[in-house]
Chains A and B, each alone.
Chain A
Amino acid sequence: MLNRIDRLARVAVVVAAAALVSATSSFAYEGGAVSGGGTIKGMVKLNGTAPEPEVLDVNKDKKVCAVTEKKSNELVVGSNGGIRYAVVSLTNISKGKAFPEGESVLDQEGCEYLPYVTVVAQDHELVIKNSDGILHNIHTYSEKNKPVNRAQPKFKKKIKETFSEPEMIKVTCDVHGWMRGWVAVADHPYYAVTDENGAFELTDVPAGDYEIKVWQEKLGESTQKVSVPGGGEATVTFELAQK
């Protein structure tokens, strides 16, 4: 009798879970093979004059941290006016290519976060490395995800963290006050971080109309509409201004 109830209960849980999955699946991203997809290419530019990046005061663990001069990455503008480290993403895509294979890695090297902006898929592990061999800590300032503040002493070369909600998360190190980086938690694979010329590229986008968004930590967000032709290429240029 008890066994039977137990079995029924288990069935009920499975049924309920399946129902929940099917109910939420309409919001969740569905990844698979994309044939005849197009490409979005573009650039994020600064509208205005580029400020001189602040030189950071490296005042601790200098042997490891002060090997090279460090400058703030808050707003890095290339010679062509392109903004580096802006995050470009589609906002309304529910079906497309699969998340790329391989893990997302955030390294702490020379008391800097490398890369400055790391993209990680939601519910996937972010591998956080400590290549410095000194104590660092990962202190996240997130609102949708629970903030974490984890120590990473030298003997811990690698720790892992997962984030369940898409969000731009600031990461700092309380041991080294100048360290600062960002983690972009992505709900689909169409995320790109601009390079030193402000350029980005999103590939294998199923043909269709989308909204595309850019985020920059100092300059905020901006969106545009974009039409992606099957097998073709769409171009988007964002211009952000200092507030």
Chain B
Amino acid sequence: MSKADEEKKSYASVFLLAVALLLVTSVWIVWDDQISRRPWKKYQYEFSQTQIERAKAEVSAEEERLGADEEYQKVLADLEAARDKTTSGATASQLSELASKENKARVAFDDAEFNLRLVKSQIEEAWYELEHAQLAHADTTSQRAHLDELNAKKAEVEEEVAETLARLNQILSEQDEIRSVVDSLEKKKEELEGAKSRLEQKVDGMVIQVGPFDFPKIPKIEQVVLNEFDRNAYNQPVARVDRCTSCHAGINKDGFEDLPNPYKTHPDRRLYLGKHAAEKVGCTPCHQGQGAAVNSAEQAHGHVKYWLDPMYEGDNVQASCIGCHADVRMDAAEKIALGEKLFEQVGCIGCHLVEGYGDLPKIGPYLGRISAKVDADWLVDWVKNPHEYRPRTKMPNFYFDGDEAEAIAGYLLSASADESEAWLGEHDLPSGIDSGNAALVAEGERLVDSLGCRGCHGLAPGESPALLGEGKDIAPNLSNIAEKTNARWAYHWVKDPRGYSPVARMPSLRLSDQEAKAIVSYLMTLGEAATDDSATRARLLEADNVVIGEALVRKYGCAGCHNVPGMESESRIGVELSVFGSKPLEELFFGNRTDIPHTWEDWTFNKINEPRIYETERIEQVMPHFALAESDIDAILTFLASRQEGYVPKEYRPSDYDNEVTLVEGRRVIERYNCVGCHVVSGRGGAILAHYEENPTLGPPILTGEGAKVQANWLYGFLQRPVPLRPWLEVRMPTFGLSDEETAAIVNYFAAEEKIDNPYVHVDLASLSPEYVEAGELLASDDYFSCWTCHQQGDRKPEGPKEGWAPDLAMAYERLNPNWIVDWIKDPQALMPGSRMPSFYDFTDDSPDGPDDVLGGSDLEQVKALRDYILTLHAPTGAVAQPAVATDAEESAPEPAEMPSEETAAADSSAASEAQG
């Protein structure tokens, strides 16, 4: 191509193309940066629009309401009329006349005031002249005269100021009077329009106003920064950033419950966001996901590869509760609470170590003397499939075949033979147990019904007073107990469970020999009695069989739940689950299963539901089948999901975390011994009370609020060695043989429940006012409240049948918290609704209820006097101060000494009264 051609060639089209490309690219860049990669803008914009629309609708609804409101319309009309009146006619001319008068008066007042200021400065000057002359030792007569003259003038001018001011005020008030009609109407109008103007302000806060138009605000990233919430790879604290509300703009606003996600209000906003301020805690600490991501919902929700914490689905979000709270038995955390309870109590902890749950006692019965306890034929059947004998037992099914079951039974009988022999040697079959004696059997049944056995045990097939989750019994159902064991064992067991098993959870009911014989006679009628098992025993005890059995017992980890003789040092056989919730999908073995969706939830659910489901020809699995209800599996799954790597820093945990730990530790003991089978504790439990609907006062006492009621030292002693408190009860508080640690855990639990820091009390009887004690005695007597009509005092028993009696007041000194006594007498129904104790006073009004001739008729002083008197009832002689010799009338009625607990435990008493109030 020649040069000339080159010069002639036009590049216009190329430039045009390039410019067009550049333009398109620029537009695309802006589009992509501002719109495509900012999906949250659209959500926020749409939400804003809806929000504004709704707020405006509220404004117009309010306007409409005002339009129809007669009062408002009348105010408007009156106001207009009043205004008209002030702008025309006689009133108007009066006003303008007043206005000119006001002007004149103001000028006169200003002049007078100016004069006053002038005179004041002249006085200052005169003082200066006078002092100057004094310092120069000159004659000061003229200066003093001048000063006096000025002072006189000042008084004159002051008077003038007052006069002119009074006149001005007079005119002003005349004006005000005329205008006051308008003013008051205006105020009223403003007030009636209050709701409307508040709504209008709300709209103003939402929009950008441009002239007559308004627009939704420009969307921006909304974020919460949680300082030092996470740890990086070097274990240094780093912040977490949650931007969830950039899209979920309505999540913390009421009134958008009807919208779809991401606009809608949190489904339980008051509870969850009320307790956890969203602006501090953000969203991902509960919901998981990738809080900082805003490019797409998938990214933000953590549903992307290699993000380890995708959002929890549904109720599984409760897995997060336990990350911050030690105690999850609370509102709206039922699922995680159930999951934790099941995990602890069904037996998972026997094979799987989980940090924080490693030291709990084994859940299965003691097998050290099993040979003395069970029928050999029964044992083989039981090992083979326990669910056949007891569908709701916690013992799982290991799918053993007949030979395996025989081998395991053989080992257990053989390994426990010596111990069993020794035990049997000391525990003969007593005479007098007779299941054929109808009267004895009936007596046994009556005892079982009335002593409290039914708080834990079901006696008819399928009956269960104490369910664990949906389908597990806490204590065995006894409807077929005769098949399993024999009268000899049962007799010694019910008399002293710890005498057979050092780890027995079954308590002693302190049965007499005769009671135990009757009970066992009855129990042995339940189910078909076992037949002679000596042939089976001999077969099982063959050496070969026992050796095979030992290997199986070891392989299947029986020692995880049971104390198996010879296997005291076996460790857990299952994998550790401490961080199972963080386990990536890649590490979960699905075997050959292609029908199960590859998610953590599906894997886990199916594993618990059918433990051998992922078994292949090469990979054997040994986990047994628990036959749990689906809802229970789901709850355990939620608990497992909560087992995450990392931990929540202390400052993000509840402020009363330590109190929660105390509650958890206490509750473990309370549940281990199933105290809640009989007692309502913290508002839960008390299954046995179903048998006392006719007369609830004959059932075991309700223990909600016990921490504020009794003295810790007394409760500790009572738990270790219970004594009958309520002689009218047939149901018997058993002796559990609690260890010191267990007892303390229960005592601390009740204190923690009432948030009492120091539950100990000492009553110093010497500090009680003798006058108050005397007054209390008088009040308690038959002349006034007749307390002894129902209450006992030591050996002094009330008239009538026992079921009409009330507790022994002589125990109050050792047992009751003095503050509680006051609260109780003040209003028993408030502390225990339905109590038979009537209220003698009504503190909801000021009118006195007590007798007016005791302690000046003061109700509160009388209650204190009753307390003081009750506390002395068990006092050692001489512990109470004798009435002092009164020297004058005032001293004869001193203030009662404050209870020591009120002084020394000021902190806890306020907490206690709060809890009781």
In the docked arrangement, what's the CA distance between A137 and B790, Å?
Answer: 12
Chain A nearest Cβ from B561, distance in angstroms: 48
Contact of A175 among B782, B804, B828, B834 (CB under 8 A): B804
Chain A nearest Cβ from B862, distance in angstroms: 12
Contact with A along B845-889 (1 / 0, CB 8 A): 000000100000000000000000000000000000000000000
Contact in complex: A60, B800 (CB < 8 Å): yes
Contact (A151, B838) CB under 8 Å given A59-B799, A60-B789:
yes
Contact with B along A133-154 (1 / 0, CB 8 A): 0110111000000011111011
Contact in complex: B191, A134 (CB < 8 Å): no
Contact in complex: B828, A153 (CB < 8 Å): no
Within 8 A of B (CB), among A18-46: none
Name which residue of chain A comes closest to B799, CB basis: A60
B: number of interface residues (CB 8 Å): 29
In the docked arrangement, what's the CA distance between A134 and B799, Å?
Answer: 13
Chain B nearest Cβ from A219, distance in angstroms: 20
Name which residue of chain A comes closest to B695, CB basis: A177
Give every chain B residue within 8 A of A60 (Cβ-Cβ): 789, 798-800, 804
Contact (A175, B851) CB under 8 Å given A137-B838, A147-B834, A153-B784:
no
B836 in the interface (beta carbon within 8 A): yes
A: number of interface residues (CB 8 Å): 22
Chain A nearest Cβ from B574, distance in angstroms: 53
Chain B nearest Cβ from A211, distance in angstroms: 33
Contact with A along B607-624 (1 / 0, CB 8 A): 000000000000000000
Within 8 A of A (CB), among B168-195: 184, 187-188, 191
In the docked arrangement, what's the CA distance between A61 and B187, Å?
Answer: 70
In the docked arrangement, what's the CA distance between A139 and B829, Å?
Answer: 11
B803 in the interface (beta carbon within 8 A): yes
Within 8 A of B (CB), among A138-180: 138-139, 147-151, 153-155, 174-175, 177
In the docked arrangement, what's the CA distance between A59 and B851, Å?
Answer: 28
Contact in complex: A149, B804 (CB < 8 Å): no
A14 in the interface (beta carbon within 8 A): no
Give every chain A residue within 8 A of B838 (Cβ-Cβ): 137-139, 149-151, 174
A243 in the interface (beta carbon within 8 A): no
B840 in the interface (beta carbon within 8 A): yes
B589 in the interface (beta carbon within 8 A): no
Contact in complex: A151, B840 (CB < 8 Å): yes
Contact with A along B774-816 (1 / 0, CB 8 A): 0000000011111001100000001111011000000000000
Name which residue of chain A comes closest to B849, CB basis: A156
Contact (A151, B803) CB under 8 Å given A4-B187, A139-B836, A139-B838:
no
Chain A nearest Cβ from B837, distance in angstroms: 7
Contact of B786 among A135, A138, A148 (CB under 8 A): A135
Give every chain B residue within 8 A of A59 (Cβ-Cβ): 799-801, 804
Tell me the interface secondary structure of chain A in the complex.
Answer: loop
Contact in complex: B800, A151 (CB < 8 Å): no
In the docked arrangement, what's the CA distance between A167 and B804, Å?
Answer: 28
Contact in complex: A153, B191 (CB < 8 Å): no
Name which residue of chain A comes closest to B841, CB basis: A151
Contact in complex: A177, B785 (CB < 8 Å): no
Contact in complex: B785, A135 (CB < 8 Å): yes
Chain B nearest Cβ from A173, distance in angstroms: 9
Contact (A61, B839) CB under 8 Å given A147-B834, A174-B804, A177-B804:
no
In the docked arrangement, what's the CA distance between A148 and B801, Å?
Answer: 24
B835 in the interface (beta carbon within 8 A): yes
Give every chain A residue within 8 A of B837 (Cβ-Cβ): 149, 174
A56 in the interface (beta carbon within 8 A): no
In the docked arrangement, what's the CA distance between A59 and B798, Å?
Answer: 11
Give every chain B residue within 8 A of A17 (Cβ-Cβ): none
In the docked arrangement, what's the CA distance between A137 and B838, Å?
Answer: 6
Contact of A134 among B184, B188, B786, B801 (CB under 8 A): B786
Chain B nearest Cβ from A203, distance in angstroms: 38
Give every chain B residue within 8 A of A155 (Cβ-Cβ): 783-784, 851
Contact (A150, B839) CB under 8 Å given A8-B191, A135-B786, A174-B804:
yes
In the docked arrangement, what's the CA distance between A72 and B833, Å?
Answer: 27
Name which residue of chain B comes closest to A9, CB basis: B191
Give every chain A residue within 8 A of B783 (Cβ-Cβ): 154-155
Give every chain A residue within 8 A of B842 (Cβ-Cβ): 150
Give every chain B residue within 8 A of A135 (Cβ-Cβ): 782, 785-786, 789
Chain A nearest Cβ from B786, distance in angstroms: 4
Contact of A149 among B799, B800, B836 (CB under 8 A): B836
Contact (A153, B785) CB under 8 Å given A8-B188, A61-B799, A139-B838:
yes
In the docked arrangement, what's the CA distance between A135 and B784, Å?
Answer: 8
Give every chain A residue within 8 A of B835 (Cβ-Cβ): 149
Name which residue of chain B comes closest to A159, CB basis: B849
Chain A nearest Cβ from B802, distance in angstroms: 11
Chain B nearest Cβ from A73, distance in angstroms: 20
Chain B nearest Cβ from A43, distance in angstroms: 33
Give every chain B residue within 8 A of A139 (Cβ-Cβ): 836, 838
Most chain B Cβ neighbours within 10 Å, of A148, A150, A153, A175: A153
In the docked arrangement, what's the CA distance between A154 and B781, Å?
Answer: 11
Give every chain A residue within 8 A of B790 (Cβ-Cβ): 174-175
In the docked arrangement, what's the CA distance between A238 and B354, Å?
Answer: 70
Give every chain A residue within 8 A of B785 (Cβ-Cβ): 135, 151, 153
In the docked arrangement, what's the CA distance between A147 and B790, Å?
Answer: 21
Within 8 A of B (CB), among A55-92: 59-61
Give every chain A residue within 8 A of B851 (Cβ-Cβ): 155
In the docked arrangement, what's the CA distance between A153 and B838, Å?
Answer: 11
Name which residue of chain A comes closest to B786, CB basis: A135
Name which residue of chain B comes closest to A62, CB basis: B799
In the docked arrangement, what's the CA distance between A174 and B804, Å?
Answer: 7
Chain B nearest Cβ from A207, distance in angstroms: 39
In the docked arrangement, what's the CA distance between A27 and B782, Å?
Answer: 48
Contact (A177, B803) CB under 8 Å given A139-B836, A149-B836, A155-B851:
yes
Give every chain A residue within 8 A of B828 (Cβ-Cβ): 149
Name which residue of chain B comes closest to A136, CB basis: B838
Chain A nearest Cβ from B745, distance in angstroms: 35
Chain A nearest Cβ from B34, distance in angstroms: 50
In the docked arrangement, what's the CA distance between A4 and B191, Å?
Answer: 11
Contact in complex: A4, B786 (CB < 8 Å): no
Chain A nearest Cβ from B448, distance in angstroms: 27
Most chain A Cβ neighbours within 10 Å, of B789, B790, B835, B838: B838
In the docked arrangement, what's the CA distance between A149 and B798, Å?
Answer: 20
Name which residue of chain A comes closest to B853, CB basis: A155
In the docked arrangement, what's the CA distance between A177 and B799, Å?
Answer: 12
Give every chain B residue within 8 A of A5 (Cβ-Cβ): 191
In the docked arrangement, what's the CA distance between A138 and B836, Å?
Answer: 10
A interface residues, Cβ below 8 angstroms from B = 4-5, 8, 59-61, 134-135, 137-139, 147-151, 153-155, 174-175, 177
* Contacts A/B (CB < 8 Å), 15 sampled: A4-B187, A59-B801, A60-B798, A60-B804, A135-B782, A138-B838, A147-B834, A149-B835, A151-B838, A151-B840, A153-B786, A174-B804, A174-B837, A174-B838, A175-B786
Give 8 A-B pairs besides A8-B188, A135-B789, A149-B835 with Cβ atoms closer than 8 angstroms. Answer: A149-B836, A149-B837, A149-B838, A150-B839, A154-B783, A175-B786, A175-B804, A177-B801
List the 7 shortest-distance A-B pairs measured between CB atoms, nearest first: A135-B786, A60-B800, A137-B838, A151-B838, A174-B836, A59-B800, A151-B840
